[in-house]
Structure 1
Amino acid sequence: MTTRSTADRTIGGPPRPAPIGMSGFSGGSIATEFAAELAPAYAPELNIVGVAAGGMPVDMAATIDYVDGSSEWALVLPYVMQGAARGFDLDLSPYLSDYGRDVMDRIADHCVSDGPRFPGLRLSQLLRPEYQDYRTIPGFARILTENHMGTGTPTAPLLFGAGNADGIGDGVIVAAGERELADEFCRRGVSVRYHEYPGANHLIAGALFVPAAQAFLMDRFAGAPLDNSCR
């Protein structure tokens, strides 16, 4: 005989799916946001009551262009290229300059947090002369398209958070991308609360987002009404 806890069933009725909340910031926001988009078709049986995502690279090309050549965050460029190439089974070697191959070899077994750093790096330094526009590299267009957020529509209430330290973004993420995605989901009928943190860089935005995400999800678990930004 199978038994269920009262948290998993209704009295005299069918089993009730346990409520699920999802949260992620920066790299974690990628998995969180795409999971929210895919869930209605991929796992409609899940009872997702709220999704909190912040520091989101909504448009990967915009993120790359924003950090390119920066003193602090250009270091992510080779790691992003390496990860995308591995994930999409793309051989980068035909497109890399000698310097680019050296950089890729140096980071091959590292994460951003513990690997070599390249302040001021430009993506063009990693590529051969005929591939200075990375968008022309076969395979990269597909990667950029499939990693653009907003192709699917979540059904759960959303919390988005973005830092804005320089009028563009938090040094890594372009704030307008998150604002526009929030507006687009609102137009599709999704409940969205959007927070922007003026003066906050990526790390500070993350520190501000975590307690906001926790409060948001606790309210969703409690069934509290949502004061969203769509109006």
Structure 2
Amino acid sequence: MQYASTDGRGRPVAVSGTVVVPRAAWTGPGERPLVAFAPGTLGIGPQCAFSKQLAGDYQDAYEGGNIAALLRAGYAVAATDGAGYLDGQVHPYVSGADAGHALLDIARAAPRVPGSGLSAAARVGLWGYSEGGAGSLWAAQLARSYAPGLNVVGVASGGVPGDLKVVAKSLNGGAFAGFLLDAVIGMVTTHPEMPFDELLHEEGRTAVRDARTLCLVGTLARFAGGRTENYTRDRLTLDQVFAVRGLDGRAWGQIVETNKLGTGVGPAGSGARHEIRFPVLQYRGLLDEVIPAETEEATRRAYCDARVPTQWNTYLGDHLLADFQAVDDVVRWLGDRFAGRPMPGNC
């Protein structure tokens, strides 16, 4: 499907995604619940869109097992590709507002799909891991202001890159440096007025062109070990890139900071900029080699300190394995939220 959304700068944009509804009738109370799902990193090439993977066999698609588990539980799924996978677009990778809007809007659009049998009054859960974990938490933070009519009852977010500066410093020069290049392209897509192309030498421009065509495995293989110094004309370090300013005086580092999760959050009635009126599940792998524990723990602490009802789970796995290890726990947790059961949290 295609549906209307809003980009990170408040402009209308078309986004793609997939709605999947179990064939079996819903036998639980009320309307069939809906889970709005944000996939993890797939690469920013247009062929990498999650819906194109699901068009084959969702059991074989990356994170297709998450979708299958939700369907077995009887829940409908609205899985966004995220913005930027349609012709002529570029995916605004790790842009918080873009991701949050896209996830909330597919939940609003799903009941309008002919034959879905879904209700606009249905209870909605949000779920995502890694890039999708950040996207689902951004959707949670924006839900009250951007989609107040949605009946969101909970959000499950795992492997969350909550502070992009911390993540960038960890990725730079490492095995997963391709994620950093995708993030740079995402930031430039959202902020084209900022200096970028003039910072690159020809090898850097070639790297950007290549990254825009690659999916996950190709991105990691092509850019393993890459550093900002390898691609910039003056061999700029990451901190020097963060210090580069645009014509309006803002630095790249300040723009990256606007995507930090956990700032300005609070529970219902708190008056916080981002009031979260439903429980939150956050989780991570204890052996995560992609997202630093420092930022995952900090996002959890920020939510707990803000008195947002939060459950924190950990798994003895790396970044990829923890995604699979958590599936059954997440589906049960969402089921409890759909049933209206209390969640005391474990802050």
The TM-score range, normalised by the shorter chain, is 0.7 to 0.9
The answer to whether residue 313 in structure 2 is matched with residue 191 in structure 1 is no
5+ residue gaps, structure 1: 1-5, 9-15
Q: Counterpart of 2:34?
A: none
Match of 1:33 in 2: 137
Q: Structure 1 residue 21: deviation in Å?
A: 0.3
Q: Which amino acid is 2:295 matched to?
A: G
Within the candidate set 74, 77, 80, 2:183 is matched to 80
Give the letter for the 2:183 counterpart.
Answer: V
Q: Which runs of 5+ in 2 are unaligned?
A: 1-28, 32-119, 246-250, 266-275
RMSD between aligned residues: 2.3
Is 1:159 aligned with 2:281? yes
Secondary structure at the aligned position of 2:139 is classed as helix
Deviations 1:147-170 (A, max 9, x none): 1111342221000011232xxxx1
> Residues of 1 paired with 2:128 and 2:195: CA distance?
29
In structure 1, the residue corresponding to 2:223 is in which secondary structure? Answer: coil
Q: How far 1:176 moved relative to its partner?
A: 2.5
State the one-letter code of the partner of 1:224. Answer: R
Q: 1:182 aligns with which of 297, 300, 303?
A: 300
Kindly tell me the number of residue pairs found equivalent between the two proteins: 213
- The Cα shift of 1:109 comes to 2.5
Q: Secondary structure at the match of 1:84?
A: helix
Taking the aligned partners of 2:218 and 2:174, their CA distance within structure 1 comes to 19
- In structure 2, what is the equivalent of residue 208 of structure 1? 325
TM-score, structure 2 normalization: 0.57
- Preserved CA contact (<8 Å) 2:201 2:232: yes
**Structure with greater Cα Rg:** 1
Aligned letter for 1:215?
A: R
Separation in structure 2 between the aligned mates of residue 111 and residue 79 of structure 1, nearest angstrom: 10
- Are 1:129 and 2:234 counterparts? yes
Give the Å deviation of 1:215: 1.4
Looking at secondary structure, tell me which structure has more strand per residue.
Answer: 2
> 1 or 2 for the larger relative contact order (CA 8 Å, sep ≥6)?
1
- Contact 1:60–1:147 (CA<8 Å) still a contact in 2? yes
Match of 2:202? Answer: 98
Does the 8 Å contact 1:99/1:126 carry over to 2? yes
In the alignment, which residue of structure 2 is the partner of 1:56?
A: 160
Q: Distance in 1 between matches of 2:331 and 2:229?
A: 40
Tell me, yes or no, if structure 1 residue 69 matches structure 2 residue 173: yes
**Structure 1 pair 67/130, CA: closer, same or farther in 2 (3 Å)?**
closer
Q: What is aligned with 2:339?
A: 222
Residue identity opposite 1:102 in structure 2: T
Alignment of 1:23 with 2:132, yes or no, is no
Larger CA deviation: 148-157 vs 61-70: 148-157
- C-alpha spacing 1:112/1:123, structure 2 compared with 1 (3 Å): farther
Task: Judge conservation of contact 1:79–1:112 (CA < 8 Å) in 2.
Answer: no
1:91, distance to aligned residue in structure 2 (A): 5.1
2: CA distance between counterparts of 1:221 and 1:205?
Answer: 24
Task: Measure the CA separation in 2 of the matches of 1:110 and 1:120.
Answer: 17
Residue type at the aligned position of 1:64: A
Tell whether the 8 Å contact from 2:286 to 2:315 is kept in structure 1 after alignment.
Answer: yes
Instruction: Give the TM-score normalised by the residue count of structure 1.
Output: 0.83
Residues 58 and 178 in structure 1, CA contact (< 8 A), matched pair in contact too: yes
* 1:128 alignment partner, SS class: coil
2:332 and 2:195 map into 1 onto residues whose CA distance is 43
Moved more, 27-36 or 89-98: 89-98
Give 1:3's aligned residue: none
Seen in structure 2, the aligned counterparts of structure 1 residues 112 and 91 have a Cα distance that, compared at 3 Å, is: farther
SS of residue in 1 equivalent to 2:216:
coil
The amino acid of 1:58's aligned partner reads: G
Could you tell me whether the CA contact under 8 Å between 2:229 and 2:235 is conserved in 1?
no
Question: Is the Cα contact below 8 Å between 2:160 and 2:291 reproduced in 1?
Answer: yes
CA contact (8 A) 2:263 2:302 kept: no
One-letter amino acid of the structure 2 residue matched with residue 149 of structure 1: L
Contact 2:170 2:292 in 1 (8 A): yes
Does the 8 Å contact 1:79/1:111 carry over to 2? no
Change (3 A) 1:130 1:113: closer
